[in-house]
Amino acid sequence: MLEVKNLKTQIDTNEGIVQAVDGVSFTVRAGETLGIVGESGSGKSVLANSIMQLNPNPPTFYPEGEILFEGSNLLKLSEKQLRKIRGNEIGMIFQDPMSSLNPVFKVGAQLVEAILTHQKMSRKDAKALAIELLKDVGIPDAERRMDDYPHHFSGGMRQRVLIAIALAGNPKLLIADEPTTALDVTIQAQILELMKGIQKKYGTAIILISHDLGVISQMAEKVLVMYSGRIVEKGSVNDIFYRTSMPYTWSLLRSLPRLDGVEHERLISIEGQPPNLVSPPKGCNFHPRCPFATEKCLEIDPELMPRKEGHWVACILTEQEFEAEKQRLESADREEVL
């Protein structure tokens, strides 16, 4: 349904051109959930916003690539054609529910606007539909709450309203950019449940962007791991979490706090900062921070290559080399604990 091919997104900044998304390709099939993980600054949000071209333009440009949605290239559509996709075929939810609703309009009016933008119906019918949608996303006393302003709602409730807005056009694809990051854990679980329920009910495909590996493992069937604007590993959720084949993904997983007995003195972090995207390091982008790095990594910029059926990895290490080094590092971790 959605096929992204070699997408490049550039941001023109004062320091130079940033390759925020650098040759990313993936597909999303109807009804499935694709998870995208990565650190802050890895380009996942820019990627999410690129699909419907919601990045501020300028300074953001899309010099290369295709975003095929049901056959048509979204990057080639006119603004008018694109508007027919936005909120109608593809819905989007954002990170911060506290600032994503317009503070000066009633919640009902913002939802009705989403409905009337794409559907021809009377204001009265739109209102009735809006109330239905609010009930659908679990807002109690929906009828009365239509006339409330965003500041009358809690964060979790606002995110529900935003989901209702995203669902107003009955979209085939829902892009959720860190939908639970700004919420506390119990509310997170509720919002994720809600999204799962919606997917089941309407068969909506979901692109879920998160830096939270737990959220991704719970929700996604396929996972992309992003680093400095590129995909460094992609595969099924089991490939990524149980058959990790890439040092960066392994480092991410290693930095998770563990509750299963093995107790570390300190949490393990990935040393250093994500690279400067104006002038990325030579060779592999991850090599300055990579515990597996060898001399060769300074020279060779690895491409994303298939390792097994559906499991792609961007690393020059072979499976055997990676496994051997991984064993060594993990036993070193254990020793440190003892």
Partner 1 sequence: MLQYTIRRLFSIIPVMLIVSVIVFLIVHLTPGNPAYLILGEDSSPEAIAQLEKQLGLDKSMAVQFVDWIKNILMGDLGQSIYSSEPVIQVIMERVGPTFSLMITAMSLTLIIAIPTAVFIVWRRNTILDPLFTSASLLGASIPEFWFAMLLVLGLGVAVPIFPVAGYVAIDVGLGDWIYHLILPAFVLASVEIGLIARMLRDGMLESVNQDYTKTARAKGVRESVVLMKHVLSNALIPTTTVIGVMIAGLLGGTVIIETIFTIPGIGQLLIDSIHRRDYPVIQGVVLFIAVVYVFVNLLIDLLYAFLDPRIRYD
Binding site for partner 1 (CB under 8 A): 49, 52, 54, 56, 58, 79, 83-88, 91-92, 94-96, 99-106, 110, 113-114, 117-118, 149, 151, 162, 165-166, 168-169
Q: How far apart are alpha carbons 251 and 308 in whole angstroms? A: 21
- What's the min distance (Å) between Cβ of 243 and partner 1? 36
Nearer to partner 1, 59 or 306 (CB): 59
Long-range CB contacts (< 8 A, 24+ apart) of 99-104? 100/158, 100/162, 101/150, 101/153, 101/158, 101/161, 101/162, 102/150, 103/149, 103/150, 103/151, 104/149
Q: Which amino acid is at 324?
A: A
Nearer to partner 1, 52 or 240 (CB): 52
- What's the min distance (Å) between Cβ of 119 and partner 1? 11
- Check: CB of residue 220 under 8 Å from CB of residue 241: no
Nearer to partner 1, 117 or 294 (CB): 117
Helices 107-118, 155-167: axis angle to 10 degrees equals 20
- What's the min distance (Å) between Cβ of 20 and partner 1? 16
Give the 3-state secondary structure percentages of the chain, helix then strand then coil, rounded to 5.
40, 25, 40
Nearer to partner 1, 169 or 280 (CB): 169
- What's the min distance (Å) between Cβ of 60 and partner 1? 11
- What's the min distance (Å) between Cβ of 161 and partner 1? 10
Strands (DSSP E) along 89-154, which ranges?
Answer: 90-93
- What's the min distance (Å) between Cβ of 232 and partner 1? 28
Q: Which amino acid is at 202?
A: Y
What are 34's strand-pairing partners?
Answer: 207, 222
For residue 333, the Cα-to-chain-centroid distance in whole angstroms is: 30
Nearer to partner 1, 51 or 314 (CB): 51
- What's the min distance (Å) between Cβ of 133 and partner 1? 13
| Residue of 234, 186, 202, 270 whose CA lies nearest to 35 | 234
Nearer to partner 1, 6 or 81 (CB): 81
What are 174's strand-pairing partners?
Answer: 91, 206
Nearer to partner 1, 101 or 225 (CB): 101
Q: How far apart are alpha carbons 152 and 139 in whole angstroms? A: 13
